[in-house]
A and B are shown apart, each in its own frame.
Chain A
Amino acid sequence: ILNVEQSPQSLHVQEGDSTNFTCSFPSSNFYALHWYRWETAKSPEALFVMTLNGDEKKKGRISATLNTKEGYSYLYIKGSQPEDSATYLCAFTDSWGKFQFGAGTQVVVTP
């Protein structure tokens, strides 16, 4: 994989359901993997920065895992709420600090 790829492009979730989605990234020259939440008309907000293979991070109902050997990260949302509706971006950084973003996964949580 040469680019950062996110899937699915979008998903609709019922309130209360849990969901997850994927970020795939180059496995060479890895420094960090970032997750951002981007709500409409706002600035992207940092959720997690992960650097070590096997890292797991959690923030409230949102958690993320990292596999640097195979080049993927999962983001999980447990018990989705309408306020979780946003586009979730992942970004791969090499040691020079250049961010390479995926196109994002748009999450819509319906009551």
Chain B
Amino acid sequence: DAGVTQSPTHLIKTRGQQVTLRCSPKSGHDTVSWYQQALGQGPQFIFQYYEEEERQRGNFPDRFSGHQFPNYSSELNVNALLLGDSALYLCASSLGTGVDEQFFGPGTRLTVL
């Protein structure tokens, strides 16, 4: 049983570009949450998708958007990249809201130059 997978592993972009990160949830899970972890900080909640809709959102600008597909996989899109968007982006999957447990992927390391 595959756990949560994310692609790509690493990514380098320049300021102003756009990026798409992908996440496949653990088998049987229907909810995907995205987090940003900047250096020296804990993961910060970006948003959560359930039934192909954004259910909750953290304090991130509209440049951060997402999508969930019928197979429950998800994408995180970031437009007009800033240097400060350089971080590890984690995806977590769960059944329902995930208040009881979330399973994390290994993350995508984004570097913005």
Contacts and interface: CB of A to CB of B under 8 A. Distances in A.
A41 B107 CA distance: 9
B42 A49 contact: no
B111 interface: no
Contacts of A101: 35, 42-44
B3 A49 contact: no
Nearest to B97: A97
Contacts of B103: 43, 46
B106 to A, nearest CB: 5
Interface residues of A, number: 25
Nearest to A36: B104
Interface string A74-109: 000000000000000101010111111111100000
Nearest to B90: A44
Contacts of B101: 34, 46, 49
Give the size range of B's interface with the partner: 20 to 34
Nearest to A104: B42
A39 B94 CA distance: 21
A59 interface: no
Nearest to A99: B45
A43 B45 contact: no
A41 B106 contact: yes
B105 A43 contact: yes
B102 interface: yes
A24 B44 CA distance: 17
A31 interface: yes
Contact of A97 (B40, B42, B56): B56
Interface in B44-69: 44-45, 48, 56, 58
Given A43-B107, A89-B42, A99 B102 contact: yes
A50 B107 CA distance: 25
B91 to A, nearest CB: 10
